[in-house]
Chains A and B, each alone.
Chain A
Amino acid sequence: MSSLVGRVILFGYTWTLMHHMLGGIRHLMWDTGHGFGSVEREWLAIATLVGSISLTLIIWVLGYLFAGGWR
């Protein structure tokens, strides 16, 4: 965490992890047969992207504000 390059890689990894998780939850939902409509599919695609970016930013803000990311 002391190098900028390391932080950028970790930030990117946080995003891919969150995006993969939300995409996976979407697939689990599809496994149950829900969410196949044209409107739902588009909405889910956007929600996955917005959700993964939001979660990544929240994790990093929490890390810096409350968990000593500056130290």
Chain B
Amino acid sequence: MAVGKMSTPLARVRGLGAARSGTQQFWRQRLTAVSNVPLVIAFVFIVVALLGRNHAAVVQILGSPLVAVILLLFILSITTHMRIGMQVIIEDYVHDEGVKLILLMGNTFFAVAVGLACAFALLMLSFKV
């Protein structure tokens, strides 16, 4: 979108904002908030079902297709929600542009690393059974 001197104030703000990405993140945070609800409930049930079981049983449960897919969806939804939530806090409270940029990058790196580490651990269990 052209954002020059000739554009109206509405055109300048449309699609921008503090994150320079408009309402996409706002919408994605609501989307993952909704998907988190059933996934968190499923996650809690799965964790409770693991209580007191030995290592082999835990590997078998976590590696089963249905549980693994639910947990992979959970990881994707939770880490996306986590990343955007923290990003909003950084954008709102860190006013130094340089520090903000570094923190936003670090936040994204952290969320992606956590998500991939979780997914990798789960896939290891799924494919090594």
Q: Which of B33, B44, B52 contacts A27 (CB 8 A)?
A: B33
Q: Which residues of B contact A67 (CB under 8 A)?
A: 48-49, 51-52
Interface of A is mostly: helix
The answer on a CB contact under 8 Å between A1 and B33 is no
How many of B's residues come within 8 Å of A, CB to CB? 12
B48 touches A62 (CB 8 A): yes
Majority-rule SS of B interface residues:
helix
- Judge if A69 is at the interface, Cβ distance under 8 Å: yes
A residues within 8 A CB of B77?
A: none
Q: Which residues of A contact B53 (CB under 8 A)?
A: 68, 71
How many residue pairs link A and B with beta carbons under 8 A? The number is 35
Q: Closest CB of chain A to B56's CB: distance in Å?
A: 15
Whether B44 pairs with A59 at a CB distance below 8 angstroms is yes
| A24 engages B51 (CB within 8 Å) | no
**A49 located at the interface, meaning its Cβ lies under 8 Å from any Cβ of chain B in the complex:** no
A69 to B40: give the CA distance in the assembly, Å: 20
Contact (Cβ within 8 A) A31 B30: yes
The 7 closest A-B pairs by CB, nearest first: A68-B52, A71-B52, A67-B51, A67-B48, A69-B51, A63-B48, A68-B51
Contact partners of B52 in chain A: CB under 8 A: 1, 67-71
